[in-house]
Structure 1
Amino acid sequence: MTQKKDPKGYWKANIKYVLILLAIWFVVSYGAGILFKEELNTIKLGGFKLGFWFAQQGSMYVFVVLIFVYVKLMNNLDKKFGYDE
């Protein structure tokens, strides 16, 4: 069931999703890679310290996953507001 098109509501929800996903990415990249590096370095992952891994590769993997999450969220939002094809 689709609703009537509401551009303001659509963009409000879109911006909300973007801000939440960017906050998650910030926490993972800056927090895990810099702020919590020492605590995470006590854990080893594939022979590397976890803090080093997050700083070098983990944040990129999280970013790619967040792209797929954003696509799923936007597809659902498009259907909800009647913008799907």
Structure 2
Amino acid sequence: MSKKQKKASAYWKENVRYLFILLLIWFAVSFGAGVLFKESLDAIKIGGFKLGFWFAQQGSIYVFVILIFVYVRLMNKLDKKYGYDE
């Protein structure tokens, strides 16, 4: 395996690791807060709505958008690390 292929392989391994971690966070927020922990979160109100309901309807979307920006930042750093920033 050439040095270029090893570099590309390491790049994609790190990229997939980032994707897995970020999607795991999103799953935990959307499914965990919106479904699993809904009852306990409903004791807290935000803007007049129960927190469990808010996470199920809005919170997971906001977290997903934030995670997109985090992914872009991580990928920019990763591109620079492996020399793919053009």
TM norm structure 1: 0.94
Cα distance, 1:47 vs. partner? 0.3
Asked if 1:57 is matched to 2:58, the reply is yes
State the distance in 2 between where 1:50 and 1:43 align. Answer: 5
- The structure where helix makes up a greater share of residues is 2
Secondary structure of the residue that 1:29 maps to in structure 2?
Answer: helix
In structure 2, the residue matched to 1:39 is 40
* Structure 1: 4+ residue segments shifted above 6 A: none
Asked if 1:25 is matched to 2:26, the reply is yes
Secondary structure of the residue that 1:84 maps to in structure 2?
Answer: coil
Asked if 1:74 is matched to 2:83, the reply is no
In structure 2, the residue matched to 1:83 is 84
- The residue identity in structure 2 corresponding to 1:15 is V
Structure 2: gaps spanning 5 or more residues: none
TM norm structure 2: 0.93
Cα distance, 1:22 vs. partner? 0.3
Cα distance, 1:60 vs. partner? 0.2
State the distance in 2 between where 1:25 and 1:58 align. Answer: 10
Matched pairs, number:
82
- The residue identity in structure 1 corresponding to 2:70 is V
| Identical pairs, percent | 73
Cα distance, 1:56 vs. partner? 0.3
Cα distance, 1:35 vs. partner? 0.2
Cα distance, 1:26 vs. partner? 0.3
What do residues 1-60 of structure 1 show as CA deviations (whole Å, max 9, x unaligned)?
xxx851000000000000000000000000000000000000000100000000000000
